[in-house]
Amino acid sequence: GENVEQHPSTLSVQEGDSAVIKCTYSDSASNYFPWYKQELGKRPQLIIDIRSNVGEKKDQRIAVTLNKTAKHFSLHITETQPEDSAVYFCAARRGTGGENKLTFGTGTQLKVEL
């Protein structure tokens, strides 16, 4: 099955700096890669996603890049703010066979310090 590795497990940045979280996946058939944000005590929520026919996607201060050859994808947050502090999860989904199973990474605790 799919295996998703996520690094780093914790990340501290100064407010205004950029943050980068990286994930690798094992199944070359995976073609959908979402990122979820989970604030303390809350439910995970989708913040951005990318499909394998696209190399990069941006939404205001967040962007995701995908390298299918190397089987890795990254989340970039620019101009970080205190409200960006949360746990971020990457995930991957195999695209064929009717299966609908997202495999999540182990999460990155991002702390934005004032």
Interacting residue ranges for other proteins, rule: CB under 8 A:
1, 6, 9, 32, 34, 36, 43-46, 49, 89, 93, 95, 98-107
Is residue 34 reached through a cis peptide bond, with omega within 30 degrees of 0 on the bond before it?
no
- State in angstroms the smallest separation of the CB of 25 from other proteins: 13
Q: Report in angstroms how near the CB of residue 28 gets to other proteins at its nearest.
A: 18
Cβ closest to other proteins, residue 71 vs residue 104: 104
| Terminal CA-CA length for the chain | 41
Least CB distance from residue 15 to other proteins, whole Å?
A: 26
Across the strands, what pairs with 4? Answer: 25
CA-based R_g, the chain, Å: 14
Question: Which of 6, 9, 34 lies closest to 92 in space, CA to CA?
Answer: 34
- CB of 78 or CB of 103, closer to other proteins: 103
